[in-house]
Amino acid sequence: MATDFTQGRYNVYEGRGPGASLIGRIDEDEFVRSNKGLLYRIDGSEFYDMNGKYLGEIVESGDGRAMVIDRSHYCLFVIAPE
């Protein structure tokens, strides 16, 4: 993983494509948060829920963007610069 997503501000969308809903933001730390609190945690290139369950791998897709891909190769989330 070349981009350190804990260093900067990023929007996180559920799924991918034009209909993907904004679910939270990364604000210069390892957490995805919404106005309701912490949702997910980033550890290197790994993505976890707040209970510590591994959800998927962060795979860069260009222009500072990335996808969180689960073990079945399904895109769970998209991370994009703010």
Q: pLDDT per residue over 47-77, tens digit each?
A: 999 999 999 999 999 888 999 999 999 999 9
| Pair 46, 58: CB distance under 8 Å | yes
3-state helix, strand, coil in the chain (%, to 5): 0, 60, 40
pTM of the model: 0.91
